[in-house]
Amino acid sequence: MIKSVLFDLDGTLLPLDQDAFFHEYLKHMGRRAASIAEPKQFINQLLASTGTMINSKDKTKTNQQVFWEDFLANIGITEDVLVPVMDNFYETDFVLVKPTTRASKAARQAVMAVLELGLEVVVATNPIFPLHAVRQRIDWAGLGDINFKHVTSYEHCHFCKPNPDYYREIVDQIGRQPQECLMVGNDVEEDLVAAKIGMKTYLVTDCLLNSKKLDFTTDYQGTLQELADSIAGIIKAENGGVS
């Protein structure tokens, strides 16, 4: 029986062009960091440390801890100088990336349909950003007023997509079994891997990502609007006619 629906954020609840999003993100981050470092060097290390965080399998360290340990060890800037610059970027400059995204009425319809069935909704975004940046993107999606059961961020997660342990950690945090969850996302590699631990999956095709051209199977797939129109029926069918 489905009791919780997990929604990816970027490209799912928040439609966007991923390349344009990260181009603008890195451009504005580099400009903000120019007062303390050579921008290209700064961005290269930012990406390298993000990669270290994504690949980490250390369950004793949060993603935040892994990122900052690697970044500070390699960037050559002290924490007391670096952290305020990064914090200021997310407070003042991150919003400049918003034009690469767009709010979707269908996304809100889908979330509300799940809530109206009495189920929990989780924002299961890849936790490479601080919570403040995740909350901003939820606002951009027009969902800032929703009381989500759980929102993933780098402060509270120990793994990243596509590691199946990312999904195992979520079900532990929300007190569910994988079989009680439906994962909705647009990335073949990152989101459909939830099936490996026993979750049902729905692939959203509007901003479909399959960079490695992987063969895949999914329980359901369709556009964001098709998701909004069908998710109540899907859940009722999965639950034997009851929500």
- Is the overall model pTM greater than 0.85, yes or no? yes
Spell out the SS3 assignment of 161-175.
CCCHHHHHHHHHHHC
pLDDT tens per residue across span 40-95: 999 999 999 999 999 999 999 999 999 999 999 999 999 999 999 999 999 999 99
Q: pLDDT digits over 11-48, tens only?
A: 999 999 999 999 999 999 999 999 999 999 999 999 99
Residue-wise pLDDT for 155-209, tens only, equals 999 999 999 999 999 999 999 999 999 999 999 999 999 999 999 999 999 999 9
Write the DSSP string, 157-216.
-S--TT-HHHHHHHHHHHT--GGGEEEEESBHHHHGGGGGGT-EEEEE-TT-B-TT----
